[in-house]
Chain A
Amino acid sequence: MKVRSAAFKENARAALGDEALQAALAKAKGGFVDKRRIAVEGLPEFDAIRDVAIEIKEHTLSHLDYYLEQYESQVIASGGQVHWARTPKEACEAVVAICRQAGGRRIIKGKSMVGEEIGINEALGAAEFEVMETDLGEYIIQLAEEPPSHIIAPAVHKTRDQISDLFQAHHGKYGLTERVTEVATIVNEARQVLRDIFIAGEIGITGANFLIADTGSNVLVTNEGNGDLTSTLPRVHIVTASIEKVVPTLEDATTILRLLGRSATGQEITSYTTFSTGPRRAEDLDGPEEYHVVLVDNGRSELLATEYRHMLRCIRCGACLNHCPVYGAIGGHAYGWVYPGPMGSVLTPLMVGLTDTVDLPNACTLNGRCRDVCPMRIPLPDMLRAHRERAHAQGIGGGLFGIGLSLWAWLAKRPSLYRLAADRFSAFLGARGRKAGAFRSLPFAGAWTASRDLPAPARVSFARQWRRRQAENK
C-alpha cells in the first residue's frame, strides 16, 4: 500500500469536511466505547488479567527465538510448513510461490492486518490470482477499492447508504435487481454471494490472532465464521502472521482472549474462535490438504532492543483507535497507511520511516486515553513522544514552529530575560486586548484565532503584581 501519510494535514482536512464520513464516525464512536466499558465493568478481574497477559507477552518477547522455533517444529510435526520472511517482499514472494505451486487461481481471504501491511492483495493481483475478501467489512471496501480504515472494523467509515450503492453497482452480475437498504437484507445479500465464493475458493489465506508454540496451532477470532470457512474449505490454507503473535501455550492464548473481545467490541468472546493445527489428517472430516505459515518480521525483531519494544505486546484490538479523539474526528484513512490511530502512529513511522510520517506522532494531544484503555498497557503516548524526539534530533518537520519553540526554550532557560519578555508580552497585549477581553484575530496567532478567540493576557503579569504586593507588605 502506498504511504500517503505525508499528506496527513490535507487528508485530515478532507475527512473533516466529508459529511458521510463524519456521520459514520459519529455513529461508531459511542458504540465501541460504551460496549467496552460495560464489558470491562462486568469482569472485576479485568485488571488482574491484564497483568498476567502483559507478563505472558513480555516473557515471550524475551524468548522470542525459542518460542518461534518451538512453534515451527510443532507446525512441521503436524504436517504443515513454515516460511520465514524478513521483509514484506519476501513474505509476498513466499505466498505467491505457494499459490503457484498449489495450482489454483481463486483465492479467498480472511481479514488480516499483516496481509495489508505486506501488500498481499496487490502482489497476488500482479501475479494474476483472483482474490476475494470474505469478511463483510473487507468485502465492502474491496468493492469500493479502498484500504481498511480501522483494524477491526475495516468499513467503519462507510454509511449504510454507501454500502447499498456499492452492492447495487457490483451485484448486478450476481442477479441483484433491487437496491438493498436494510441491514438484514444487505447482510443476506452478501451472504448469498459469498457462499458461492467460499465454495469456489481453491486457496484460503487468513491472518492469526495468536500462534501457539506448544501445539503449532493458529488462533483466529471472527464474528462471521468466515475465518473457519476460509481455513477449512479450500485445498490449501496459508496463514500470514507477524512474529510477535506467538505465545507459549493454549492457556496463554485463552488468557489474552479474555481481554481481546472485551477491549475490541465489548464482547466477552467473539462469535467464532477458530483453532487450526496443520493440514487435514486421514480421520478428519474436513480441512485443507496443505497448511502453510508465512512468518513476517518486517523490522519487529529489531524493535526488541529499543524503547519501542512494548509495542510488540499489541494484540490489535483497536481500543486505542476507538478512544482516540483524533481518530474519532478524522477516521483511519487520513493517517495514510495500514495502521491508523495511536497504535498506527507508533507503528507506521517504525515500518515506513519517520520522514514522510512525522505528522502522525505529532497529531496527538497526549491525552493518554489510549494508554488507559490498552489491554496491554502499552505506553503509547511515551512512544509517540519518542518519535518526536527522534524527529527533533534528525531535524524532521520542525519548520518555523521548531524555530519558535527553540527561541522560547532559550528564553525559558534565562529567568531574568524571560521575566522581562513575559512582562512586556503581557503589558503589550493586555493594553490592546483586555478592554474587549479577547482577540478575534492576531498576527502570528492565525492557527488559534481561525476558530476561537484568544482571551487577552493580563495588563500586568502575576509576577509583577506579586512583586508589588510583597513590596507593599514590607
Chain B
Amino acid sequence: MNVKTEAAPQKATPTVGLLVTCLVDVFRPQVGFAAVRLLEDAGCRVAVPETQTCCGQPAFNSGARADAKAIAKQVVETFEGFDYVVGPSGSCISTLRCHYPELLADEAEWRQRAEAFAGRCHELMRFLTDVMGVERVTAQYAARATYHDSCSGLRELGIRHQPRNLLASVQGLALRELEDSDACCGFGGTFCVKYPEISERMVSDKVAGIQAVDAEVLLGGDLGCLLNIGGRLRRLGSPVRVFHAAEVLADMTDGPAIGEPEK
C-alpha cells in the first residue's frame, strides 16, 4: 500500500535536478545512474547540473559556518530553477531541506530563497513514493536482505517505510528486519576518522546485527553508511554484499557490490 503524503506535481513531467552527492560521484557512480533510471521511469525529466560539488554538510557539522553558508548559496543557485531537487541520500537532502533555511536565516533574501527551495528538496525514495506515487518497480534480485536506516533520513525526513515498500516489489528479494535498524552505524561523516575506535565499536555492533539475521545483502539509502558498514564487513572477510537500495530498485545488481573486486 502506498500513500502520497506530498502534493502531487503540477506538471505531468516535472523537471528534477539530481543532486548526485560528492560520495556517489566518486565512490559509486552507479547509484547516480540508478537514481536517473528510477526518476525517468517515474515520469520525470532529469538534469544533472555540472557545477554541483557538495551540499556543504562536512563544513556545517564541523562548525565552519561561513564555508557552509557559501556552499549552501551555491547549491540554491545551482538547483532552484528545477521543479524538484532529488538526491540518493537522506543525509545530504536533510542538509538542504532542514538546515539551509536555518543556516541562511540571518540574510533576509537568502532565507526566503532557502525556505522556498527547501520544500522542493527530496530524498530519492521518499520522492518516488510520496510525491510521484510510485508503488512498485520492475526489478529482480533473489537474496535475503536487510535494511539499515540512516539517521538523518530516518529522523529528519521520516524515511522508513518508503524504501521498504518499494523493495517489497523487487522479485525474489526477502527483507528481514535488522534489530536496532535505527541505531547509528558509526559513520557520522568526519566522526569515523576523528574517533575511529568508537566508530569501530558502533560499526561492529551493526555488523553483528546483520549477521544475527543471517542476511546475504545489506541495503541502505546513504552511501556514507554503506561505505562504512561495507568496509567493516570486508575487513572481517564477510560475504555479505552491500548495495544502495536505489541500485536494487533500478535492477542494477549485476556488477560488483560496494567494495567488491571487479569481475
Contact = CB atoms under 8 A, between A and B. Distances in A.
B201 A329 contact: yes
Contact of A326 (B20, B26, B54, B198): B198
Interface in B135-192: 151-152, 155-156, 182-184, 186-192
Interface in A269-307: none
Given A330-B198, A436-B261, A437-B256, A462 B231 contact: no
Contacts, number: 207
B56 interface: yes
Nearest to A402: B62
Contacts of A440: 235
Interface in A48-85: none
A363 B61 CA distance: 12
B231 A448 contact: yes
B196 A325 contact: no
Interface in A367-396: 367-369, 371-372, 385, 387-393
Contact of A413 (B70, B190, B228): B70
A406 B151 contact: no
Residue among A393, A453, A460 with most chain B CB within 10 A: A453
Contacts of A451: 196-197, 199-200, 203, 232, 235
Contacts of A12: 195, 197-198
B253 interface: no
A402 B203 CA distance: 25
Interface in A391-437: 391-393, 401-402, 405-406, 408-409, 411-413, 415-416, 418-419, 422, 425-426, 434-437
B26 A448 contact: no
Interface string B63-99: 1110100110010000000000000000000000000
Given A405-B190, A455-B230, A13 B29 contact: no
Interface residues of A, number: 67
Interface stretch (B3-11, B44-52, B116-124, B126-134): B44-52
Interface string A181-213: 000000000000000000000000000000000
The 8 closest A-B CB pairs, nearest first, are A365-B188, A388-B63, A452-B231, A392-B63, A462-B29, A455-B259, A367-B151, A367-B184
Interface of A: 9, 12-13, 16, 325-326, 329-330, 362-369, 371-372, 385, 387-393, 401-402, 405-406, 408-409, 411-413, 415-416, 418-419, 422, 425-426, 434-438, 440, 445, 447-448, 450-458, 460-463, 465-467
Interface of B: 20, 22, 24-29, 32-33, 48, 50-54, 56, 58-65, 67, 70-71, 74, 151-152, 155-156, 182-184, 186-203, 205, 227-228, 230-232, 234-235, 256, 258-262
21 contacts: A325-B183, A325-B184, A326-B198, A329-B198, A362-B191, A364-B188, A366-B61, A366-B152, A366-B189, A366-B191, A368-B152, A385-B60, A387-B63, A390-B63, A392-B65, A401-B193, A409-B67, A416-B51, A437-B259, A438-B259, A455-B231
